[in-house]
Structure 1
């Protein structure tokens, strides 16, 4: 919410400053420069504000889902996630795995959960562990639960034999 407020508020403030002459008088910027700054803020800030909303987040996940179904996981990692820090790439993969899981594609979701967990996403580690536990692979499930706890996952993580 804070990202949305800043991303939408700064361009609005700069446009208002250019319209009223505030940026010209206070910042000492010529009128044309204050308008250029306002336009740049709009082109950068408003897409960032949109991306921070739930609809924008779903749009990014849908983009990854379409690319995954069309080209595969390797393509998604190269084209979209290689530019992100590993932790953020893991979160994007986690969202993709959730989308696949909700679509009923559990086999592909498991593969993507594994990749997201390898990138260091604690929620992906927990979901992977839960899936493994449900399919009788308790030892590996406990290992992923332990890794999630070490990575800072704060929710309750079941112990061996608990579900």
Structure 2
């Protein structure tokens, strides 16, 4: 589950980021640029090359492989440097909610890797940033580890923070 962008947003980012360089290259190759934007051919090729250099990384970031790649970069930095270093170096410049989102994605990656203790620590940090999905994930990990009273508390905090829990999940948490 990708908490950062909706599928529609990622599709729009991909189309714009990949489409603009393609249009500029076709425009420069066909010689339309002189009549369309009034620049000489060498300038059209320069603009097209800059659009490719800027646009294609954004297009890659919009694909599932690209979003997983960003999470993997954060995961590798976490394993190499530790959680405190990650927060200080990478997440300190972000808003609290955005930092919570990034930490939650890191926690999900740790869950997929089977590192439940690390996931619990990361989700706890993300929950303390006030990110409701991280509160729910923390409650899930705590529940999985048999810490039911604290898990119920985190489910309650997520609901208070505005997270709409499924009635079945809420019944499981009680």
Report TM bin, short chain. 0.7 to 0.9
Give the one of 117, 125, 149 matched to 1:115.
Answer: 125
Aligned pair 1:5/2:33, yes or no?
Answer: no
Contact 2:116–2:141 at 8 Å: present in 1 too?
no
TM-score for the superposition, normalised by structure 2: 0.79
**Structure 1 CA distance for aligned equivalents of residues 163 and 80 of structure 2:** 33
Structure 2 residue aligned with 1:34: 44
CA deviations over 1:82-122 (Å, ceiling 9, x no partner): 34443333222112111212222111111100112223333
**CA shift for structure 1 position 15:** 1.3
TM-score for the superposition, normalised by structure 1: 0.83
CA RMSD of aligned residues (A): 2.3
Tell me the secondary structure at the aligned position of residue 88 of structure 1: helix
**Structure 1 CA distance for aligned equivalents of residues 37 and 142 of structure 2:** 59
Aligned pair 1:47/2:57, yes or no?
Answer: yes
**Structure 1 CA distance for aligned equivalents of residues 43 and 122 of structure 2:** 47
18-27 or 143-152, larger mean C-alpha shift: 143-152
**Structure 1 CA distance for aligned equivalents of residues 99 and 88 of structure 2:** 11
Tell me the secondary structure at the aligned position of residue 100 of structure 1: helix
Runs (5+) with no aligned partner, structure 1: none
**Structure 1 CA distance for aligned equivalents of residues 125 and 56 of structure 2:** 31
**Structure 1 CA distance for aligned equivalents of residues 78 and 20 of structure 2:** 35
Tell me the secondary structure at the aligned position of residue 125 of structure 2: helix
Alignment map for 1:66-105 (pairs within 5 Å): 66-105=76-115
Moved over 6 A (4+): none
**CA shift for structure 1 position 80:** 2.6
